[in-house]
Amino acid sequence: MIRSMTGFASDKGAFGSHSWTWELRSVNGKGLDMRLRVPEWLTGLEAALRAQLSKALSRGNVTLSLRLSRDETAPDIVLNEGAMEAALSALARAQDMAAAQGVTLAPSSAADLIAMKGMLDAGSDVDDPEPLVRQLTSEFPSLLAAFIEMRQAEGQALSTILDGQLTQVADLTVRAAELAEQRKDKMAEALRDNLARVLDNAQGAEPERVAQELALIAVKADITEEIDRLKAHVAAARELLSQDGAVGRKLDFLMQEFNREANTLCSKAQSADLTSVGLELKAVIDQMREQVQNVE
């Protein structure tokens, strides 16, 4: 079953004096791009979360946010004033340097600064973040499972849409083959008429040479190979849709091949009806390509 690159999941939890809210979301991406927003003082948490995400996902722009809060009834929290002064001084220098380059930095909140490692001194659960990190790490798989489940549901919907579009392509390919068969007699008659006119108006022309040239024109107008390749591409795409795992890149490549065959069919059409079918093919293929951009 294919998976979409679009997904969202959220969850809440608590441990000791802390409570938190998770948010995990993703959109389309060429590769796997992860942005994690977790408090820096939770040593080792980001690396553990990245490892789990990398193992479970293949593509998508993924954003994970962890918002952590502390119970007000917990022991008083002591601000590390030296660390805060150093952070404020560094922030002021950064703003001055950015201003000198004509760049405006987004304002930082007190919460951003307090979240930095070493800003707070309080009870044992702040002094030793390891138990909290273990708890957060152990709870994250349930959030990730819900996130993957949503991507799979989106993928199932995508699969249904793509299967319907592949059926349209298959039907149009059959129609193109029928029209190509119907035009054979007309093309043969036109070639014979052209050959007769050339021979009547060209002194010294070799009939065999003229016949070879006209035969070459007929071969160039033949769309049998394009029809066969379109049928093969439809079968290959359906096989990919039935597979598990990341198949988005392979499907995207197939869309390019579909489009190539439709373009060639149009260029060889020499028939208004066949050209119309070729243009319909191109329209459906473009729609498929848009959907495929969402497949992991």
Tell me the C-alpha distance between 238 and 167, whole Å: 10
Q: What is the pLDDT of residue 116?
A: 76
- DSSP H/E element including 6: none
Q: What is the pLDDT of residue 201?
A: 63
Q: SS3 for 41?
A: coil
Helix 184-201 with 207-221: angle, nearest 10 deg = 150
Nearest to 261 by CA among 173, 167, 152: 173
The CATH number of 154-292 is which of 1.20.120, 1.10.1760, 1.20.140, 2.60.120? 1.20.140
pLDDT recorded at residue 211: 57
pLDDT for position 102: 83
Which residues partner with 32 through β-bridges?
60
Q: Whole-model pTM above 0.85?
A: no
Query: What does the block give as tokens for 226?
Result: 């394009």
Q: What pLDDT score was predicted for residue 124?
A: 43
3-state SS class at 181: helix
Give 14's strand partners: 19
Q: Which two tokens stand for residue 265?
A: 């069919």
Tokens, residue 154: 């989106």
Instruction: Spell out the per-residue pLDDT of the chain, length 296, in tens.
Output: 799 999 999 999 999 889 999 999 999 999 999 999 999 899 999 999 999 999 999 999 999 999 999 876 655 566 777 888 888 888 888 888 888 888 887 787 777 777 777 776 654 445 578 999 999 999 999 999 999 999 999 999 999 999 999 999 999 999 999 988 887 666 656 666 666 666 566 665 566 665 565 555 555 567 889 999 999 999 999 999 999 888 999 999 999 999 999 999 998 887 889 999 999 999 999 999 999 999 99
